[in-house]
Amino acid sequence: MSHDLGALFDPKGVIITGVSNHPGKFGFVTLHNLIASGYQGEIFPVGREPGEVLGRSVLGSIDEVPDGAADMVFICTPQAVNEELLRAAAARGVRAAFFAAAGYREAGPEGVEAERRLVALADELGVALAGPNGQGVVSTPSQMCAQIVAPYAPAGRIAVASQSGNFVSSFLNLAHHTGVGVSRAVAAGNAAALGIADYVEWFADDPETDVCLVYMESVDDGREMFERLRAVAERKPVVVVKGGASDAGARAAASHTGALASDDAVFDGMCRQAGLIRARDVEEGFEAAATLATQPLPQGNRVVVVTTVGGWGVAAVDAMADTRLTAVALPDDLYAAIDEKLPPRWSKNNPIDMAGGETRDTVPEILELAAAHPDVDGVLFLGLGIQSNTASMLREGGFYPDHGLERIVGFHERQDARYAEAAAEIAARTGTPVLIATELANARPDNAGPAAVRAAGRMCHASAGRAIRSLDLMARYANWRRARGL
Amino acid sequence: MSITLSEAESRRVVAGHGVPVSPFVTGTSTDEVIAAVATDDTVAYPVVAKLCGRAIAHKTERGLVRLRLGDEDALRQACDDLLAAARPDDGDVEVLVSTMVDGNRELIAGLNDDPQFGLTIMVGVGGILAEAIRDVTFRLVPISEVDAAEMIDDLGTQRLLDEFRGEPAVDRAALIEALVALAAVGEQEAGVRSIDLNPLIIVEGKPVAVDALVELDEAAAEVSR
C-alpha cells in the first residue's frame, strides 16, 4: 500500500525544532534554507530561547502552534526529547515528520531501542516518519528546501530518493549544473519507517514527477523491494545507482551457481527483470534521468549521428560498441534526401559528417530528416557550439565589434541557439529523441549552444559517449516495456 | 542443513518438470543396468556410466565415471568395476547410464537461494570453465518466457550462441523453455536450495543437461526419497 506523503512533500506549514541563533546549528540552517528557497507555507520555528531568528519569532513550545496550521515537523533536536516533541506535533495536526536528528540506530544498542520506540510512536500517532538521521527533504512545487545542508535545485520532473544524504546533494548539484531540475528529493536516513520503495511508490502517483532516481546501498527485503519497484517501473522510469556494488565476497556455496552468484550479478539481474534502469555511477544515473525527463522514449536501438565536422562521430560509434545501440546504415530514401542538402564531400554514411558544408538551415533540416525517418530511433547531434566558440574569441580578441565582427558574432551565436531549439522542437514533434553532446557543456557552459539547450529545458551531454550511454539506458527501458506489452 | 540428491535422483526431479537431460537409465546391479539399457529405446551406445549416490560428491576425482562405452560388453565391465569401487560409507548407490552426447558448446544453468532475493535462476557460458569466464546472468524465480529470453540476450558471449564450428545456432526457444522449466522446479518442488545443470551441452542447437545436482532442505529431502 502506498503511504500518503503529501504532508511531507507539500506541507501547508512546517514546524522546525531545535532552532537557535547559532548559524552552525541544524535548526538554524534548516530555517534559513526553508526561507531562502521561497517556501510559501507557514513556518513555525521552535527553540529553547525565545526571541527572533532570521526575523521569525521562535516559539518556546510546539503547543503554541495554532491547531492545524502545520502538517509537517522537521526535527533537529537531541534524541532524548524527540518522542515528546512528536506527540506535541501530532496533537497540533502534524501528519508527517522528517527526523534529521541523529542518535538512533547508527548510535548503537540504545539508539536501536530509541528508533524502535520512535517507529511505534509514529505508527500510533498516524504520522509518516522520514529518517531519522537524514539530511532532509526538497520539493520544488512547494519551493521547499527543508534540509540541514545545501543545495536547493531548479524545478523539474525528476524525483530523488536516496539512502545517503550526500547523494541527494550530488543529484541536486548536477541538476544545477545541467539545468534539468527535480520535483522532489528525500534522504531516507536510517529509513526506520519509510524506505526507498515507499518514496518511489508515492512518486509514481505524483503528477509533478516523470522519472524516479534512486541511490541505494543496502537491500533489506530484496524480494519485496523487487516487486514494488517493478510495479513502479511499469508506470514511470526508475533509475537506480547502487553503492557497494563490488563483489563483497565469498559466499560459502556448494554449487557452481552459488559460487557465481555475486551480490552484484544478482542485483543486476533483479534490476533487468524489474525494468529498473541501472546506472554505473552518479553522473550516469543523473544524466539518464535527465534524458528520460526531457526526451521522448526511443522506439528501438537504431541511431543516426549527425556531426558538423571531424572525428566526433567516430567516437560516438565507438561508444555504441558497448551498448545495444547500432549506427543504422542510412536507408536509401534518407540517403537521397540528405544528399540533396549537402555538398558532395559529406560522409555518405552514418555518422553523417556534414563536413562543414552546411548552409544556414542545413543542421535543422538534416536533424529533421533523420528524426522523422521510420527506421531511425534516436539522433545524436555533435558540433553544437563551434560557431559560438569562434564568436567568443572574436568577441574577446580586441577587434570586436569592428571589422564586421559584430555581425558575424551575432550570426554564429544565433545559429547555435537555433540548432539547440530545433533539436528540442524536432524531438517533441517526431517522438524521436534528439540528443546533443559537446564538451562545451562543461568547458564553456555560457556558449550560446549549450546555453540554448539549457534554456530549452534539456540536457546537454558533455561527450558523445555519455549521450550514447543515456540513450542506451533509455532504449533498454523502452525494450523492457515493449517486451511486456506496456 | 541440506542434502544433495544423487545425480540420478536429481535428473529425475528436473526432468519431471521438463528440463532436458540426456537420456538415461539406472540400476543397482550390473544385470539390472544391462536389462534397463536393452529395454529402453532412448539410451543408445556409446554411453557413459557413472556410480552415483547421495554421499558421492566427486565422481570424476574418484574415477567413478566411464565414458564412451561402445557396446554391451564394455558397459557390463564398467558396471562391475563401478559397483566394486563403492565404499561402505557411500551408502545407497546405483549405476546411471546415459547416452554420450557431444557438442562444442557448453552452458551452465542453475538455481540458487540468494540471501537477499530468495530463489534465483542463472544461465551462463562455460560448463567447467564457467567460474573462469563468469559470463552469467541471474533473475528471480519465477520467470516468464520474456525474462528467460532477456537472460540469454544479456550474455556477453553472443557469438557463441550463433552458428558455431559447423553447428547450428542455439535454438533460443528451446533454451528459453529449458530455463522456464528449471525455474518451475524451484517453484513447485518444496525446499529447493540449489540446482546445478553443469554442463548444459548444446546438441544440434538444443540444450541438454548431462549432469544435474539438486540440493534440498533436509526435511524436503526425506520426503523425496
Q: What number is the ipTM of this complex? A: 0.94
| Beta-strand runs (E) in A188-320 | 211-216, 238-242, 277-279, 302-307
Q: At what angle do helices A222-233 and A263-274 cross, to 10 degrees?
A: 30
Helix (H) or strand (E) holding A118: helix A109-125
Q: Is B139's CB within 8 Å of A269's CB?
A: yes
The alpha carbon of residue B38 is apart from the nearest alpha carbon of chain A, in Å, by: 34
Mean pLDDT of A155-169: 96
Residue B118, pLDDT > 50, answer yes
Q: Is B117's CB within 8 Å of A270's CB?
A: yes
The confidence score (pLDDT) of residue A125 equals: 97
pLDDT range class, residue B128, cuts 50, 70, 90: confident
Mean pLDDT of A447-471: 97
- Calpha distance B70→B76 (Å, rounded): 11
Contacts with A223 from chain B: Cβ below 8 Å: 117-118, 140
pLDDT range class, residue A253, cuts 50, 70, 90: very low
Of A219, A255, A269, the CB nearest to B215: A255
Q: Which of A216, A226, A246, A255 to mutate to test the interface with B (most CBs of B within 10 A)?
A: A255
Residue B223, pLDDT > 80, answer no
The alpha carbon of residue A223 is apart from the nearest alpha carbon of chain B, in Å, by: 5
Which chain A residue shows the shortest CA-CA distance from B155? A269
**Cβ atoms A381, A414 nearer than 8 A:** no
Q: Is B130's CB within 8 Å of A258's CB?
A: no
Cα-to-chain-centroid distance, residue B184: 15
Neighbours of A425 (CB within 10 A): 15
Contacts with A273 from chain B: Cβ below 8 Å: 139-140, 143, 147, 150
CA A404 vs CA A388, A390, A394, B48, B187: distances in Å: 16, 14, 10, 89, 77
Please tell me what DSSP assigns to residue A331. Answer: P
Residue A249, pLDDT > 50, answer no
Of A257, A263, A480, the CB nearest to B122: A257
Q: Which of A260, A476, A486 to mutate to test the interface with B (most CBs of B within 10 A)?
A: A260
- Calpha distance A293→A289 (Å, rounded): 6
Which chain B residue shows the shortest CA-CA distance from A476? B150
Residue A250, pLDDT > 90, answer no
Q: Which of B117, B145, B187 to mutate to test the interface with A (most CBs of A within 10 A)?
A: B117
Mean pLDDT of B100-117: 94
Residue A426, pLDDT > 70, answer yes
Mean pLDDT of A143-169: 97
In A359-432, which ranges are continuous DSSP H helix?
362-372, 386-396, 405-430
Q: pLDDT by residue (tens digit) across B160-198?
A: 999 988 899 999 999 999 999 999 999 999 999 999 999
CA B201 vs CA A47, A190, A377, B105, B182: distances in Å: 72, 48, 37, 6, 15
In the predicted model, what is the mean pLDDT of chain B? 94
Q: Is B150's CB within 8 Å of A261's CB?
A: no
A361 contact partners, CB below 8 Å, separation of at least 6: none
Q: Is A261's CB within 8 Å of B198's CB?
A: no
- Calpha distance B66→B95 (Å, rounded): 11
pLDDT range class, residue A121, cuts 50, 70, 90: very high
Closest CA to A462 of A395, A400, A353, A385: A385
Of A219, A257, A480, the CB nearest to B196: A257
Q: Which of B120, B155, B217 to mutate to test the interface with A (most CBs of A within 10 A)?
A: B120
Contacts with A265 from chain B: Cβ below 8 Å: 136-138
Which chain B residue shows the shortest CA-CA distance from A218? B116
The A residues from 221 to 260 touching B (CB cutoff 8 Å) are 222-223, 226, 251, 253-260
Q: Is A223's CB within 8 Å of B194's CB?
A: no
The confidence score (pLDDT) of residue B164 equals: 86
pLDDT range class, residue A263, cuts 50, 70, 90: confident
**Cβ atoms A71, A49 nearer than 8 A:** no
Helix (H) or strand (E) holding A266: helix A263-274
Neighbours of A207 (CB within 10 A): 7
Q: pLDDT by residue (tens digit) across B6-64?
A: 999 999 999 999 999 999 999 999 999 999 999 999 999 999 999 999 988 778 888 99
Cβ-based contacts under 8 A for chains A and B: 91
Q: Which of A256, A322, A484 to mutate to test the interface with B (most CBs of B within 10 A)?
A: A256
| DSSP symbols for B65-94 | EEEEE-SHHHHHHHHHHHHHH--GGG-S-E
Residue A69, pLDDT > 60, answer yes
Computed over its alpha carbons, how large is the radius of gyration of chain B?
17
- Calpha distance B96→B28 (Å, rounded): 9
- Calpha distance A57→A49 (Å, rounded): 10
The confidence score (pLDDT) of residue B129 equals: 87
- Calpha distance A97→A95 (Å, rounded): 7
The alpha carbon of residue B5 is apart from the nearest alpha carbon of chain A, in Å, by: 13
Neighbours of B81 (CB within 10 A): 15
Of B112, B134, B147, the CB nearest to A257: B112
Residue A324, pLDDT > 90, answer yes
- Calpha distance A113→A147 (Å, rounded): 26
Q: A218 at the B interface (CB within 8 A)?
A: no
Q: Is A483's CB within 8 Å of B146's CB?
A: yes
Cα-to-chain-centroid distance, residue A250: 34
pTM across the whole model: 0.95
Of B130, B140, B151, the CB nearest to A260: B130
The amino acid at A347: S
A1 contact partners, CB below 8 Å, separation of at least 6: none
Mean pLDDT of A366-376: 98
Pair type for strands A277-279 and A238-242: parallel
**Cβ atoms A48, A83 nearer than 8 A:** no
Q: Is A266's CB within 8 Å of B117's CB?
A: yes
Neighbours of A356 (CB within 10 A): 13
Of B4, B130, B140, the CB nearest to A273: B140
